[in-house]
Structure 1
């Protein structure tokens, strides 16, 4: 019988490890939301998802949600933002890249804690700020 390793307490994970997980969590929520919102073909879905997951967009989402977080969540987001990855972003401003890492760290933290409802709430704030629905209606 295969034994499954137990994850460490998310509070003990580095900001970068949390961001590693959070990158996937954020992207899957974006992709699901885009599919729920429209019948765009795959190529357009891909382009739309890139517009959400690029560092500049995530940095704007960082600012959008930072005042709505609990003290603990804000601390995790700051820890991710301040983490030193040793990598230089190729297509992003370093400040945007760090804020994007902070947002991803928060998503990873919430996911590893099993707080799917809270992830949905935070993502809801992000989705409320978008214009995809109104843009598609004007193109019809």
Structure 2
């Protein structure tokens, strides 16, 4: 159980720990968004990949970056530059580092109890990916 004595300031936390929680929070938001749209679990899983893949998260980060605060950009920089002992399975290293940075930002906002800002950025991320997906679909027609 988490008690007051165990609380650490998010700004002081390791960027990989921020990314760890940010990954879970972002995935939950995406799953919630997709479940509300309806569909079978296997279809929902395929749709979720459009939002949670390292490539998608890297694209989201690049899209959001100009509108981030200086404090948020500092968290992103820490997340991007942190060394991980794991290697990406289905992404190149640059996308992987940028996706880690995005997840660190989400984790930071979540642990800082800045849910309004986090919600806003995740909604922007969802809208961005949906536009990108629609653009890709229109190109293949």
TM class, shorter-length: 0.7 to 0.9
Rounded Cα–Cα distance in structure 1 between residues aligned with 2:2 and 2:55: 41
Matched, 1:52 2:51: yes
Corresponding position of 1:138: none
- Aligned pair count reads 133
Corresponding position of 2:30: 30
Q: Superposed, which structure 2 residues align to 1:60-139 within 5 Å?
A: 60-129=59-128, 130-131=130-131
Could you state the TM-score of these two structures normalised by the residue count of structure 2?
Answer: 0.87
Give how far 1:89 is off. 1.1
- Shifted more, 122-131 versus 110-119: the winner is 122-131
Give how far 1:6 is off. 3.2
Rounded Cα–Cα distance in structure 2 between residues aligned with 1:48 and 1:101: 20
* 3-state SS of paired residue (2:6): coil
Seen in structure 2, the aligned counterparts of structure 1 residues 72 and 56 have a Cα distance that, compared at 3 Å, is same
List alignment gaps of at least 5 residues for structure 2. Answer: 136-141
CA deviations on 1:12-68 (whole Å, 9 max, x unpaired) are 0011110011000110111111122x2211111111112211100100001010111
The structure where helix makes up a greater share of residues is: 2
Rounded Cα–Cα distance in structure 2 between residues aligned with 1:64 and 1:40: 28
Seen in structure 2, the aligned counterparts of structure 1 residues 3 and 61 have a Cα distance that, compared at 3 Å, is closer
Seen in structure 2, the aligned counterparts of structure 1 residues 58 and 3 have a Cα distance that, compared at 3 Å, is closer
* 3-state SS of paired residue (2:18): helix
* 3-state SS of paired residue (1:52): helix
